[in-house]
């Protein structure tokens, strides 16, 4: 199967947004995506890009992507975070996900970081198996905490 | 109690490193910290700082800190991540942790982000109670995955 993996371009962001939405549906958060393709372009193609994105091309169509950005560990220093990895449904099980994952790991390694990190849903057993088979460690003792905009606003009003 | 919260300075990084190590011991990873104070200075006090840090001062001593950096959500856009929040053991239960947390949330809000995120150990029930009482949501269905330097190297060798 002739699939090309390359860095995303501005013109790809509509297709990347479609994949972000497909992933949000898979993750049972169909209404969570508030960004537009214009936002993605502004965030990734400026002087200080907020993320890096790889796309997989098959027969001139974008069929998958991996997307991430730098983070920081007070234990290890600079790290990278893999935010999204998705292959469109009809193109799964051909190794495209692994190729996109691989591009992101190699890119991270080339940046000299000591760690790549990401989050996976605990019911996404296929993904967990894939990550473990490729040498990742899944941690069961850490939980993710978040404050959204409303929670931040409420907190700030209460703690002026 | 007269505690001042302010942005950290270069000269604070030795004390900040001590707090990072105290937190690593609390988190049962006493040997995980490989960074030096010099590294922290290089990472935070350059033209492109990798993190922001607030310190709590009591009687001219640094007794706590909060530290974080920008992240990105493909659903919401720019976010902030709270990497570390610690008050030295003898100074806990005086509200210093809340003041440091508050400084970080207010800073994040001033940056216009739509979300603040962090990780908490599932046995750290005091922290979880504190975060929930202040409006945070703790997610039980996401797990953290990581590849360290060795795992990255092995993966790259196998997938050349």
Do residues A127 and A133 make contact, with C-beta atoms less than 8 angstroms apart?
A: no
Helix/strand/coil for A44? helix
Q: How far is A70 from chain B (nearest CA, A)?
A: 8
Distance CA A104, CA A54 (A): 7
Q: Closest partner residue to A151 among B74, B136, B156, by Cβ?
A: B136
**DSSP assignment of B90-144:** GGTTSSHHHHHHHHHHHHHHHTT-SEEEEEEETT-HHHHHHHHHTT-EEESSEEE
What ipTM was reported for this prediction? 0.95
Give all strands (DSSP E) within A9-160, no chain letters.
52-58, 61-73, 77-87, 115-121, 137-139, 142-148
Residue by residue, pLDDT tens for chain B (160 residues) are 899 999 999 999 999 999 999 999 999 999 999 999 999 999 999 999 999 999 999 999 999 999 999 999 999 999 999 999 999 999 999 999 999 999 999 999 999 999 999 999 999 999 999 999 999 999 999 999 999 999 999 999 999 8
pLDDT < 50 positions in chain A: none
Sequence-separated (6 or more) residues with CB below 8 Å from residue B12: B53, B55, B62
Do residues B65 and B98 make contact, with C-beta atoms less than 8 angstroms apart?
A: no
Instruction: Give chain B's mean pLDDT.
Output: 97
Q: What pLDDT is stored for residue A61 in this prediction?
A: 97
Q: Which two tokens stand for residue B63?
A: 């007794």
Distance CA A30, CA B108 (A): 26
A131 given a catalytic annotation: yes
A133 touches chain B (CB under 8 A): no
The count of residues in chain B is 160
A156 touches chain B (CB under 8 A): yes
Sequence-separated (6 or more) residues with CB below 8 Å from residue B8: B16, B44, B53, B54, B55, B65
Contacts of B144 in chain A (CB under 8 A): 117-119, 138-139, 142, 144
The answer to whether the Cβ–Cβ distance between A145 and B139 falls below 8 Å is: yes
Q: What pLDDT is stored for residue A121 in this prediction?
A: 96
| Contacts by residues A84-90 (CB-CB < 8 Å, ≥ 24 positions apart) | A84/A19, A84/A20, A84/A23, A84/B74, A85/A118, A86/A19, A86/A20, A86/A22, A86/A23, A86/A26, A87/A56, A87/A63, A88/A19, A88/A22, A88/A63, A88/A64, A89/A22
Domain boundaries, chain B: 3-158
Contacts of B109 in chain A (CB under 8 A): 152-153, 156
Percentage above 90 pLDDT, chain B:
99
Nearest to A78 by CA among B103, B157, B55, B46: B46
One CATH from 3.40.50.300, 3.40.630.30, 3.30.720.200, 3.30.470.20 for B3-158:
3.40.630.30
Q: Phi, psi at residue A97, to the nearest 5°?
A: -60, -45
- Rg (C-alpha) for chain A, rounded Å, is 17
> What letter would DSSP give residue B10?
G
> pLDDT by residue (tens digit) across B94-129?
999 999 999 999 999 999 999 999 999 999 999 999
Q: Which residue has the tokens 């409303």?
A: A150
SS3 of A54-82: the string is EEEEECCEEEEEEEEEEEEECCCEEEEEE
Q: Phi, psi at residue B149, to the nearest 5°?
A: -60, -45
Q: Which of residues 13-72 of A touch B (CB under 8 A)?
A: 20, 24, 29, 32-35, 39-40, 43, 50-51, 67, 69-72
């Amino acid at each position: 199967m002739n699939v090309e993996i390359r860095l995303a371009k501005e013109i790809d962001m509509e297709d990347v947004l479609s994949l972000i939405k497909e992933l949000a549906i898979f993750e049972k958060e169909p209404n969570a995506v508030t960004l537009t393709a214009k936002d993605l372009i502004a965030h990734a193609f400026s002087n200080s890009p907020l993320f890096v994105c790889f796309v997989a091309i098959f027969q001139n169509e974008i069929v998958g992507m991996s997307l991430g950005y730098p983070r920081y560990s007070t234990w290890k220093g600079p790290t990278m975070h893999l935010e999204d990895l998705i292959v469109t449904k009809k193109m799964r099980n051909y190794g495209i996900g692994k190729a996109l994952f691989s591009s992101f790991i190699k890119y991270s390694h080339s940046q000299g970081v000591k760690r790549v990190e990401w989050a996976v849903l605990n019911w996404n057993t296929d993904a967990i198996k894939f990550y473990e088979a490729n040498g990742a460690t899944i941690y069961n003792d850490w939980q993710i905490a978040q404050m959204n905009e409303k929670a931040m606003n409420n907190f700030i009003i209460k703690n002026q």
